[in-house]
Structure 1
Amino acid sequence: MKKIMSISPDSFTKEDVQLLCERMNQLFDEGFYPHLEINREYSKHNPRLRGEMAHPKVFRWYLIRELYRLLSKGASIQLHQKRTRIALNDPTLLSHMDEEEWDFTKKKLFLFSPERVDLSINRLLHYTGTKPEHFQRYILFTNYDMHVEVFKERFPDAIKPDNEGVQMPAYHWIQPNNTGISLINIGVGPSNAKTITDHISVLRPDAMIMVGHCGGLRNHQRIGDFVLASGYYRDDRVLDDVFPMGNPVIPNYLLNSYLKQALDQHGIEHRIGTVFTTANRNWEFSAKDTVQRIHQSRSVAIDMESATVATNGFRYRVPHATLLSVSDKPLHGKPKLSQQAQEFYNRSKKLHLELVLETIEVVKLHHPEGLPNSSIRAINEPLMGGV
């Protein structure tokens, strides 16, 4: 192992941290995984942390922020050249990224192995048609082209996919230090939602918000009303094997409070409650069992992505929330029909996105260094935070 650089907490500047990140980039470009060792004498239980990473330039903003936090709390940092990169076509690659071998609650410097980061970044380019370094801190998921059109109207200079026909096209409003917004059209269904959040999470975004439509399940809901998720019924099934059903998943409290603030300021009718996420697009064809579980769970809306996004957000320690708009009421004789749906879309699309954009501006104002994340960390693993 070859030592490349060290920074002492006694005398350091932001420029030192920036130089460290440059050295990490150089190591990765030269064919090595940058290896960091953190000495935290102030920690009684875990004074030393180690970790390797890939593509440090893609989330340079995050590294600078978190490493500076560690130094400010009294940690010292050493950068080493240690392990050679593994090619993505190497047959041993999968053995280095199998999540079944990870201890998600173990205190560590980085949540993901460098091999996993390398592969996820490659797949982000494949799925979204945009470069990983274009992704911003705030991620919006939709499954409607109309939200994409509104986003492009609002941000005409947004980065667009290089190729037409990609599976989940992404659009990026670029701002200094990655403080802009990325919108991804993830298509329909929990499988797509899991796929994109598996890969987005390696970028360590400050927030992920699902901006979609839903079926309203309560008597007094109207088409066009909004639903702010306070919890989720996981009938999507795609994450059951890796995240047991008994684990509660709730949205970020602050994100939800800011979304509710935006709804209240606009005087918009909305419900707060459980969102029922199903993998069955035609659940109405065998409704008896589903309706029973809807009533038992007190769900206020049904969709196909929200619980999946939320579960992976919780699992991968990314603050998340859900704001949906009621497009139909399947239990009340108002199924989603073509003409009525189109009229609803035209009325709701701008307001829906505007509410979320306003919320993000409030988040940036009050939490420019990221939302508090104690609710999504285990008690013994702070990820890269100084605590």
Structure 2
Amino acid sequence: MKTERSVSQDIYALPKAVHKEVIGMDMLERYTGCAASELGNYILLTNFTRYVTEFAERFGVSVVSGSGFQTVNVPDEDLSLIDYKIGSPTAALVMDLLSFRKPKPRAVIMLGLCGGLNKRLKVGEFILPIAAIRDDGASQHYMPAHVPALPTFNIQKILSQVLVENGHTYRTGVIHTTDYRFWEFDDEFKQGLIQERAIAIDMECATLFITGFAVKVAIGALMLVSDLPLTKEGIKTKSSANHVFSQYTKMHLELGIKALQELRRRGDTLDVRHFEW
């Protein structure tokens, strides 16, 4: 007869077969709504349904809805797009889950929207982040606070080439990642942004970069300035957001697609890993 102690131990003990890799793969497929083998080696990340719809229409394929994300797979191009929603926790989650795919994705690019902090920026301009300030909550669980959040250099390099080849200018600089949603009304916070001279602000880049580095998934980002929130007049609204989506979504997506196609074309001739890997 089992004692109370042994019964309690049985309840909380996991079977030997249930370890992190098994749970991670199970969660990847549950959240994306598709088998891990259906995901491409080259993946775009987004926060917005509009990007999902445009991407699916672009390739004439269907959208798959999982328990957490929306996914579009294009087998002929070895591409996928995942809408992982918004914020630092889900940014960490999607990168963590992608690391369980066998093999790991060759390259991931975040197509994100950001608030421009430099007074010379305009809505619709592109930013290639060279680093991100870690004012988020999730990245601390993957790397110590003193570790800088950096994108994978060669992915950013390819993105810059694609932008230039397609007639687009872009800015580079440090992006501030925060999980503080209504900072626009906090004058002390805004003063800190001005002092640190970040070029833009978002809610995911630092988390994506740090988590990607920790789990060894190469990640870059092409950010689009969607608002200029240091002034009250520049804060994003429903109307201004719709304007940005209608004017820039297709262009933003196309640049991300072309960058991944170029990375795929180069294959093993371009090592996208961080040096330490």
TM-score normalised per structure 1: 0.64
Question: How far off is 1:249 after superposition?
Answer: 2.4
Q: CA deviation at 1:351?
A: 0.4
Letter in 1 for 2:168: I
Corresponding position of 2:81: 183
Q: Is the 8 A contact 1:274 1:297 kept in 2?
A: no
Q: What is the CA-CA distance between 1:184 and the residue it aligns to?
A: 0.7
Which residue identity is paired with 2:20? R
Shift of 1:284: 1.4
Write the mapping of 1:74-223 to structure 2, written as runs, cut at 5 A: 91-93=12-14, 115-158=19-62, 160-161=63-64, 164=65, 166-175=67-76, 180-203=78-101, 204-223=104-123
Three-state SS of the structure 2 residue aligned to 1:367 is helix
Give every structure 1 segment of 4 or more consecutive aligned residues whose post-TM-superposition deviation is greater than 6 Å.
Answer: none
Q: What amino acid is aligned across from residue 81 of structure 2 in structure 1? A: L
2:87 and 2:270 map into 1 onto residues whose CA distance is 29
2:213 counterpart of 1:309 = no
Pick the aligned partner of 1:358 from 258, 268, 271. Answer: 258
Q: In percent, how many aligned pairs have the same letter?
A: 29
CA distance in 2, matches of 1:213, 1:300: 13
Change in 2 beyond 3 A, CA 1:376/1:92: farther
CA deviation vs aligned residue, 1:92-141 (integer Å, no higher than 9, x gap): 449x8xxxxxxxxxxxxxxxx98212101111122121122111111211
Q: Deviations over 1:74-108 (max 9, x none)?
A: xxxxxxxxxxxxxxx984449x8xxxxxxxxxxxx
Q: 1:92 to 1:287 in 2, by over 3 A?
A: farther
What is the distance in 2 between the residues matched to 1:215 and 1:91?
45
Rounded to whole Å, the distance in 2 between the matches of 1:192 and 1:154 is: 26
Q: Which amino acid aligns with 2:32?
A: T
1:285 corresponds, among 185, 204, 213, to 185
Q: CA deviation at 1:167?
A: 2.1
Q: CA deviation at 1:235?
A: 0.6
Structure 2: distance between partners of 1:174 and 1:368:
20
Residue 295 (structure 1) aligns with = 194
Deviation at 1:212, TM superposition (A): 1.1
Tell me whether 1:228 sits opposite 2:128 in the alignment.
Answer: yes
Higher mean C-alpha displacement, 362-371 vs 262-271: 362-371
Structure 2: how far apart are the matches of 1:181 and 1:201? 16
Asked if 1:248 corresponds to 2:148, the answer is yes
Conservation of the 8 A alpha-carbon contact between 2:152 and 2:274:
no
Contact 2:142-2:210 at 8 Å conserved across structures: no
Residue 227 of structure 2 is aligned with which of 321, 328, 350? 328
Q: Aligned pair count?
A: 265
**1:24-63 → structure 2 map (5 Å cutoff):** none
Q: C-alpha distance in 2, partners of 1:254/1:90?
A: 48
Deviations 1:33-63 (A, max 9, x none): xxxxxxxxxxxxxxxxxxxxxxxxxxxxxxx
Supply the AA of the counterpart residue of 1:331: L
CA distance in structure 1 between the aligned counterparts of 2:152 and 2:43, rounded to whole angstroms: 14
Q: 1:128-165, CA deviations, whole angstroms, 9 ceiling, x for partnerless residues?
A: 2112211111121100111111110111135x32xx57
Give unmatched runs, 5+ long, in structure 2: 1-9
Q: Matches of 2:96 and 2:202 in 1, distance apart? A: 20
SS in 2 for 1:331: coil
Higher relative contact order (CA 8 A, sep 6+): 2
RMSD of the alignment, in Å?
A: 2.2
User: Which structure is higher in helix share?
Assistant: 2
TM-score (norm 2): 0.88
SS of equivalent to 1:202? coil
